[in-house]
Amino acid sequence: MQLEQQLRDRLEKKDILLMTHIVLGYPSFDTNREVIRQMVENGVDCIEMQIPFSEPMADGPVIVRANQEAIKNGIRVADCLAFAAEMTAAYDIPFLFMTYYNIIFKYGEKAFFEKARACGIKGFIVPDLPPEEGGSFLQLAAEYEIAPILIFAPTSTDVRMRVLASHGRGFIYCVARRGVTGVKSVIGQEVVEYLGRCRQATSLPLAVGFGIQDRDDVRALIGKADMAVIGSQTIRLVDEKGAGAVGSFIAGLR
């Protein structure tokens, strides 16, 4: 089933969806396995799995460190693909890959799409690949029916948002503020107005990420967006309290 439809089906029963994020191989695949189990059991609707990259330009300190540690531990792209296949077979929610373009480019775009489809991946989030540079990527995404998830930023003009939306599938990832991942966002009037502009620009579901950390943040997004994205916060939680703390944290978000 296509990603957008999967999300819409879930939206029938919930007033807001939850997407979570993990860095593959950090601190280990065993921990990833446990974290994902707890996320799914506590109602997460979609999970983005980040394939580590040595130069994670759009990420903040928490995720940067996770990327570095994973690479230092010898995590290879092939391991990430195998793990992804295991997860999609085990759980009935959509899984996405988040990574930087070089990982895909170096693997070979076509080969990567083919492999990702075989692994049951529903979408890609690639923060350093604007549509202007993504001609062949977008074509392959259509061919392999993997949703290219495009990103809106508060600095995107209305015209730009329409251009992005025309290339996007699945949902639009709305970055809540300027900056990198992991710094708390305040869902104030400015964000509400921005999300209004996002809604005007596309009929695709809207996910909001960057700095969404607790129940209040998630609740504030109800009616303004379709999915809240929790990224750095669960990594921080696992670092501090271990994988066992994830379940109750997720359950308390809605």
Partner 1 sequence: MDKQGFFGNWGGAYIPEVLHQTFQELNAEFTRCKNDPAFWQEYVELMSTYSCRPTPLTHAENLSRHFGGAQIYIKREDLNHTGAHKANNVMGQGLLVKRMGKKRVIAETGAGQHGMATATMAAKFGLACTIYMGEEDVRRQRPNVFWMEKMGATVVPVTNGSRTLKDAINEAFRDWVTNVDETHYVFGTVCGPHPFPEMVAWFQSIIGLEAAEQIMKYHGKMPARIFACVGGGSNAMGIFKRFIPESNVELVGVEAGGHGIATGLHAARLSGTDASPGVAQGYKTMFLQDEDGQMKETHSVAAGLDYVGVSPILSDLWEKGRVRFESATDTEVMAALDLTMKKEGIIPALESSHAFVQAFKEAPQLTPDDAIIINMSGRGDKDIFTIAHAFNDPSWKEFIIKRGLEYSQEK
Q: Interface residues with partner 1 (CB under 8 A)?
A: 52-58, 60, 64-65, 68, 71, 76-77, 100-103, 105-107, 127-130, 132-133, 150-157, 160, 164, 175, 178-180
Nearest CA-CA partner of 206 in 1, 11, 2, 65: 11
Residue 60: closest CA among 210, 242, 209: 210
- Nearer to partner 1 (CB atom), residue 8 or residue 167: 167
> What's the min distance (Å) between Cβ of 164 and partner 1?
7
Comparing CB distances to partner 1, the nearer of 11 and 153 is 153
How far apart are CB 71 and partner 1 at their closest, in Å?
6
Query: How many Cβ atoms sit within 10 Å of the Cβ of residue 193?
Result: 11
d(CA 141, CA 143): 5
Report in angstroms how near the CB of residue 239 gets to partner 1 at its nearest.
17
**How many residues belong to the chain?**
254
CB nearer to partner 1: pick between 54 and 200: 54
Enzyme catalytic residues:
48, 59
**CA–centroid distance for 76 within its chain:** 20
Please state, in angstroms and rounded to a whole number, the distance separating the CA atoms of residues 51 and 112.
Answer: 12
